[in-house]
């Protein structure tokens, strides 16, 4: 661990020098990247400095214990135990800080909720999730914009797509992807029976141009008219946008927004995602395939979380977490759940590091 921390310290000093380099400070994009990396390492470096001070104090205490003077020996003994406890505590903290972070954690996201099995009740549940999430976004101080909202027949929505931007958005919301199951007596149920319905959530990180090298000459851009359900809202302008990436043959399009500028952005984000995944040898041929792998089938049995209203109970099946405050959770207080999932993820990563 010391070797790894020393290497990080060297890198930290290099970044520190780069931040005063005119060639970097004059390039805003490069400066932001270096500055972010420098700030990320600052937390580790502060802890590492404390750790080194403790190690130095331990060496001093051992020298005192080896001194012929009995008084110094006793002083060394009295200090060594507390210092060793502090060393172990700092080592545990440093191991957590050394866990590799997902570079996409800081990105903004496209956030999608769709109704699954359950008919009208599933659409109503999508509306409840939409309200829950937007309240959580507001609590986090994030900006959010609804790009598409398809109304359900009896309330709620069959599909919602939002853009969410702020600090560490994907890092917190990525755990929400998957099937969400609700158990309750629907408003449409006259006999008072509990029904089970489902919705799916997909969280896709928004990528920037610097994340993927796309040349304008490699893009074929088509615009076309889009129409709404049943052809009732025919778009009289060519607001739909389709991108074809000629080197790979990958195609993405968007008709969700009324604005061609917004549709260009959505379609380009989807193209960035596909190309990045292809470069990582994890690409799936279409956006729908990526979405399916993220959220499952939308069936009631394919779930990451269950919302049981009669028992005021929420269960996250991935970490066997059960809470009896669903009334608070549905009001947007999901921070504790997300934090528990992050702790679990870090614990699993730490296990991997310790086995290497």
Q: For 196, phi and psi rounded to 5 degrees?
A: -120, 125
Predicted local confidence at residue 228, as pLDDT? 52
**Is residue 290 predicted with pLDDT exceeding 70?**
no
Which band of pLDDT confidence, cut at 50, 70 and 90, is reported for residue 305? very high
Predicted local confidence at residue 295, as pLDDT? 46
For 235: left if phi > 0, alpha if psi spans -120 to 50, otherwise beta; the answer is: beta
Q: Please report, for residues 22, 245, 252, 263, the alpha-carbon distance to residue 285 in angstroms, rounded to integers and kept in the order given.
A: 43, 13, 11, 21
For 25-53, the DSSP string reads HT-HHHHHHHHHHHHHHHHHHHHHHHHHH
Q: Which tens digits make up the pLDDT trace of 165-209?
A: 998 899 999 999 999 999 998 876 667 788 899 999 999 888 665
- For range 47-56, the mean pLDDT: 90
Q: Which tens digits make up the pLDDT trace of 5-18?
A: 888 888 888 888 88
- For range 300-316, the mean pLDDT: 87
Min mean pLDDT across 39-43, 94-98, 113-117 is at 94-98
Q: Which tens digits make up the pLDDT trace of 239-278?
A: 888 989 888 888 998 887 778 888 888 888 888 878 877 7
For 287-332, the DSSP string reads HHHHHHHHH----TTS-SEEEETTTTEEEETTTTEEES-HHHHTTT
- Work out whether strand 143-151 and strand 157-165 pair parallel, antiparallel, or are unpaired: antiparallel
Which band of pLDDT confidence, cut at 50, 70 and 90, is reported for residue 233? very low
Mean pLDDT comparison of 137-146, 199-208, 224-233, highest-scoring range: 137-146
Predicted local confidence at residue 184, as pLDDT? 93
Q: How far apart are CA 131 and CA 113, in angstroms?
A: 11
């Amino acid at each position: 661990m010391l070797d790894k921390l020393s290497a990080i310290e060297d890198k930290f000093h290099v970044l520190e020098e780069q931040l005063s380099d005119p060639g970097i400070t004059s390039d805003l994009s490069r400066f932001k990247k270096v500055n972010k990396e420098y700030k990320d390492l600052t937390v580790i470096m502060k802890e590492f400095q404390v750790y080194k001070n403790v190690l130095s104090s331990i060496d001093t205490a051992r020298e005192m214990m080896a001194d012929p003077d009995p008084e110094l020996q006793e002083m060394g003994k009295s200090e060594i135990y507390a210092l060793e406890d502090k060393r172990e505590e700092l080592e545990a903290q440093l191991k957590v800080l050394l866990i590799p972070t997902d570079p996409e954690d800081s990105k903004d996201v496209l956030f999608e909720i769709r109704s699954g099995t359950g008919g009208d009740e599933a659409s109503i549940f999508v509306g409840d999730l939409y309200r829950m999430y937007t309240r959580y976004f507001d609590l986090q101080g994030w900006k959010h914009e609804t790009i598409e909202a398809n109304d359900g027949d009896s309330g709620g929505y069959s599909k919602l797509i939002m853009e969410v931007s702020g600090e560490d958005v994907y890092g917190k919301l990525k755990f929400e992807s998957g099937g969400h199951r609700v158990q309750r007596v629907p408003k449409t149920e006259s006999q008072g029976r509990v029904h089970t319905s489902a919705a799916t959530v997909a969280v896709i990180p928004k990528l920037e141009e610097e994340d993927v090298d796309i040349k304008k000459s490699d893009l074929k851009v088509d615009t076309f008219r889009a129409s709404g359900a049943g052809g009732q809202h025919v778009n009289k302008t060519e607001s739909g946008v389709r991108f074809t990436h000629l080197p790979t043959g990958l195609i993405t399009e968007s008709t969700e927004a009324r604005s061609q500028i917004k549709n260009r952005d959505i379609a380009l984000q989807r193209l960035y995602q596909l190309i990045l995944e292809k470069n990582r040898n994890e690409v799936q041929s279409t956006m729908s395939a990526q979405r399916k792998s993220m959220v499952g089938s939308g069936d009631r049995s394919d779930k990451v979380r269950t919302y049981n209203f009669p028992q005021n109970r929420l269960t996250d099946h991935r970490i066997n977490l059960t809470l009896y405050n669903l009334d608070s959770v549905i009001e947007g207080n999901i921070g504790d759940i997300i934090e528990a999932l992050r702790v679990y993820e870090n614990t699993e990563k730490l296990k991997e590091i310790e086995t290497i």
